[in-house]
Amino acid sequence: MKREAFLWLLTATAGATPLVGYNQGTDFDYPGLRFDFDRKFRITMFNDLHLGDGARPGTDDKTIGVMNKVLDAESGTDLVVLNGDLTSCEWISPEAVNSVLDKIIDPLMGRKKPFTATFGNHDMSQTCDTRRMGEHIWDKANAGGRQMTWTTSSVKGDYNDVGTSNYYLPVYSMGGGGNPELKMVLWFFDSKGGRQYQPGGADVPVSDWVDQKVVSWFKLTRDQMQADNGGKPLPSLAFVHIPPSVTVAFQQSGQRKPSTEPGLNEELIGAQANSVPDADGPFMQALVETEGLMAVFSGHDHGIDWCMKYSATRAIPKANPATGNNMHLCFGRHTGYGGYSDWMRGGRHIVVDEDALGLNVLETWVRLEDGSVSGRVTLNSSYSEDVYPLVGKKKSSAFGVGGGAGTNEASTLATTTTTMMTTTTTTSLPTEMIYSKHNSTTSSSGQTQTTDISKTQTTDTSKPTTWTKQTPPMLKPTPSATPTQTPRMSPLPTKPTTSKSAPKIAARI
């Protein structure tokens, strides 16, 4: 946020209009997010950083280097989203996790880039508790009175059911001085996966979908916000680490084309509810019912980075629901040198135009660590019909950019993609790529498997059918000063309170 420039503009153009607005002094001190000076809001999403990956030791600095290169290229970024698998936490001891997280937080703080996170299945591990991780991120990044992160946990309940990173973030208008208008909502969900936190104890897999209680919270909160918005749906984006299962149905349907959904398509997608079909149905249904939801962004599958339209008219066989609401689902680019795959690392950039809100239009592309742009698309009403250039399939080796010869999808399409689409479950793709994202530990060679979580996960199919509103949506601010106009502020997320519902631990090692 270019606050100084914004303040200058108001001062220069507002004449005698007082700058003092709702809940605000003479400084422009709104601690949340707003559309920028040019009425754009720019998000850079990093996913699958996999810091601390013991199978790929010494890669953390290279991963941070990718983040820095992408942010150098996308210097207008208003918000950085770390969309899960910040760590390969199964390799990290409970004592060491904060210092690993600091490797991510410090450079973002140095750049004064506001950021926020979801957690992934490798964060939720036997040795790492994502609630404590969220608390550390909050305390560290918001120390000194400056709000730099909103990573929190807004849904109460058992850690192993609801996870941690479920919250929303309001984004306000560029204009409006100290009384800006709520324009957009960013939703963050925890798709869990991984393991229960039991250092030194049992190795217990956790279900890999957004829990029903979180879905209930989402619907209540969304509806309340819409009611407060005069009944008008609010444009929104959502972020969740493991993609909803419609992405699998779409890939298997053959509807995804390299010219209309350009991007890497180098593995079979592992999605939410990988081994319990339809368990993410309530979440998908809620997304489809959400008016104004423009797109859902995920990571998790390091060899996939395209965007699809969940069409309201063209049914996707085996998807449930088969038709959507024209929202888009996008994968990010694998950012980390930790985690499997050596496709060139990068981050996804997303540009929202304040003037196009309500039209369901976004610009997005992948910024690679060599500075180039891959898969630039406009997610608009004709996305899925518009033809785009095929993306290059560049690689960066374990030693950095330039380690692999690039190909483009045209040359390998016939052999790779077509084969994959026509086979059913076991495919021509390297087995390592298909399974490795689900394995909690690997040997130092990265090959020896321990347990494939996706195959052992049969837990937690029974979910409460009703949910008592433990967490009423707190949408009315408590003004500290008399508002001069009707307050239009939705509260910002507050610090996570972990103590009440932190998982029970026999012993902390």
Report the residue from 68, 98, 378, 459 that binds ligand NAG according to the rule CB under 6 A.
Answer: 378
* Shortest CB 343 distance to ligand NAG, Å: 16
User: Three-state SS string across 309-340, please?
Assistant: EECCCCCCCCCCCCCCCCEEEEECCECCCCCC
- Please identify the residue of the shown chain whose CB is closest to the bound ligand NAG: 449
Of 446 and 491, the one with the shorter C-beta distance to ligand NAG is: 446
Nearest to 453 by CA among 120, 52, 165: 120
Least distance in angstroms from the C-beta of 446 to ligand NAG: 6
Residues 190-249, interacting with ligand NAG (CB under 6 A): none
**Member of 17, 26, 259, 381 binding ligand NAG (CB under 6 A):** 381
Q: Which of 255, 439, 457, 498 forms a contact with ligand NAG (CB under 6 A)?
A: 439
Min separation Cβ 383 and ligand NAG, Å: 6
- Closer Cβ to ligand NAG, 418 or 444, answer by number: 444
| 3-class DSSP string for 195-248 | ECCCCCCCCCECCCCCCHHHHHHHHHHHHHHHHHCCCCCCCEEEEECCCCCHHH
CB of 379 to ligand NAG, least distance (A): 8
By C-beta, is 119 or 435 nearer to ligand NAG? 435
User: Hey, what long-range contacts does 381-388 have (CB within 8 A, 24 or more apart)?
Assistant: 381/326, 383/260, 383/307, 383/309, 383/328, 384/260, 384/261, 384/308, 384/309, 384/311, 384/314, 385/260, 386/260, 387/259, 387/260, 388/259, 388/260, 388/262
Looking only at residues 440 through 459 of this chain, which bind ligand NAG when binding is defined by CB under 6 A? Answer: 442, 446-447, 449, 452
**For ligand NAG, which is the closer residue by CB, 172 or 340?**
340
Q: How far apart are CA 153 and CA 85, in angstroms?
A: 17
Among the residue ranges 160-168, 214-222, 256-264, 377-385, the one whose residues contact ligand NAG (CB under 6 A): 377-385
Closest approach, Cβ 340 to ligand NAG, in A, equals: 7
Task: Output the smallest distance, CB 440 to ligand NAG, in A.
Answer: 9
In angstroms, the CA 261 to CA 413 distance is 13
Q: Which of 116, 125, 274, 436 binds ligand NAG (CB under 6 A)?
A: 436
One symbol per residue from 413 to 432: x for binding ligand NAG (CB under 6 A), - otherwise; what is it?
Answer: ------------------xx
Residues 384-413 vs ligand NAG: string with x where CB under 6 A? --x---------------------------
Q: Which of 80, 453 has the CB closer to ligand NAG?
A: 453
Residue position matching structure tokens 């707190």: 474
Cβ count within 10 A of residue 306: 23
ω into residue 321 within 30 of 0, thus cis?
yes
Q: State CA 485 to chain mean position distance.
A: 34
| Smallest separation (angstroms) from ligand NAG to the CB of 449 | 3
The number of beta carbons lying within 10 Å of the beta carbon of residue 140 is: 16
Burial class (CB in 10 A: 0-12, 13-18, 19+), 485: exposed
Q: Which residues bind ligand NAG (CB under 6 A)?
A: 378, 380-382, 386, 431-432, 435-436, 439, 442, 446-447, 449, 452
